[in-house]
């Protein structure tokens, strides 16, 4: 872009980086409808990220429990 008098050239344009990578997830119509009924149509990605975080934490805790005490199953 040419520099003209009065032109402002900020270092960054648009929205700030979200530091996320797009990942395709296939859901059934029923799954989508259930999620939308709970969180609304424009909050699905937030719900999915939160659900993934919760499940990862659960599985990580479970893995630590198995490692610490195999008989605790």
Distance CA 34, CA 29 (A): 9
pLDDT over 60 (residue 57): yes
Helices (H), 1-73: 29-39, 44-68
Task: For CA atoms 46, 50, 56, 57, give the dihedral sign.
Answer: positive
Give helix then strand counts, H and E, for the chain. Answer: 2, 0
> Does the pTM exceed 0.75?
no
Q: What is the mean pLDDT of residues 18-31?
A: 91
Residue pair 47/54 in contact (Cβ under 8 Å)? The answer is: no
pLDDT over 60 (residue 1): no
Place of tokens 């996320």: 20
Mean pLDDT of the chain: 85
């Amino acid at each position: 872009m040419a520099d003209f008098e009065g032109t402002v050239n900020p270092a960054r344009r648009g929205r700030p980086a979200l530091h996320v990578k797009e990942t395709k997830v296939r859901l059934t119509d029923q799954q989508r409808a259930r999620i939308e009924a709970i969180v609304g149509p424009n909050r699905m990605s937030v719900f999915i990220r939160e659900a993934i975080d919760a499940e990862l934490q659960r599985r990580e805790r479970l893995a630590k429990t198995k490692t610490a005490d195999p008989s605790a199953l």
